[in-house]
């Protein structure tokens, strides 16, 4: 979730926590509503400060990783989620043990690649692999 999403969650938590001020409710509902708002604020704080860790991991992988093109082996739509695909990738490169990976995404780069795959055209995605750390990621910026 983005920082904007964390802000929206925080605002929602404040609204829920302040609800007893504006709405008449039984005495026992007030602590439950306030607790719900406080939990939303705690969740928003977690989203806000947990995100840089994944950004740091991405930056490290971009600097240390090996750039390869991963062939799309299979793609399926995830129902009831909007435009979201589960993409099976076949990752192969010189000096790298081949492996299969699953990427779930709704990014336009992935949507275009899935469309090419479904038309029977060769389709691949840019992937960064760190063999030493055993990590990989699809790099939507490298097309």
What six digits make up the tokens of 20? 């007893």
Q: What is the pLDDT of residues 85-96, one digit of tens each?
A: 899 999 987 777
Q: Is residue 143 part of a domain?
A: no
My answer on whether 50 and 71 are in the same domain is no
Average pLDDT over residues 65-84: 85
120 confidence band (pLDDT: 50, 70, 90):
very high
Q: Is residue 111 part of a domain?
A: yes
pLDDT top residue among 80 and 100: 100
d(CA 69, CA 66): 10
Strands of the sheet with 124-130, listed across from one edge: 96-105, 85-93, 66-77, 124-130, 135-138
The count of structural domains within the chain is 2
Q: Which domain holds residue 130?
A: 65-138
Q: Is residue 29 part of a domain?
A: yes
My answer on whether 48 and 88 are in the same domain is no
My answer on whether 51 and 9 are in the same domain is yes
Q: Is residue 37 part of a domain?
A: yes
Burial of 34-56, coded b for 16+ CB within 10 Å and e otherwise, reads eeebeebbebbeebbeeeeeeee
Asked if the model's pLDDT at residue 6 lies above 70, the reply is no
My answer on whether 49 and 85 are in the same domain is no
Q: Is residue 100 part of a domain?
A: yes
Whether the pTM exceeds 0.85: the reply is no
The predicted structure's pLDDT at residue 2: 53
Q: What is the CATH number of the domain that holds 114?
A: 2.40.50
My answer on whether 74 and 49 are in the same domain is no
My answer on whether 22 and 50 are in the same domain is yes
Phi, psi of 55 (to 5 degrees): -65, -40
């Amino acid at each position: 979730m983005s920082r904007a999403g964390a802000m929206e969650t925080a605002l929602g938590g404040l609204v829920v926590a302040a609800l007893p001020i504006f709405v008449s409710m039984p005495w026992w509902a007030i602590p439950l509503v306030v607790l719900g708002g406080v939990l939303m604020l705690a969740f928003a704080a977690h989203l806000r400060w947990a995100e840089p860790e994944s950004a740091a991991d991405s930056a490290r992988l971009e600097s240390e990783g090996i750039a390869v093109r991963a062939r799309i082996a299979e793609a399926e739509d995830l129902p009831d989620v909007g435009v979201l695909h589960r993409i099976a990738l076949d990752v192969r490169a010189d000096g790298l043990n081949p492996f299969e990976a699953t990427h779930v995404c709704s990014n336009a780069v992935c949507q275009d690649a899935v469309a090419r795959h479904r038309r029977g055209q060769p389709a691949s995605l840019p992937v960064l692999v760190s063999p030493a750390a055993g990590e990989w990621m699809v790099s939507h910026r490298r097309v």
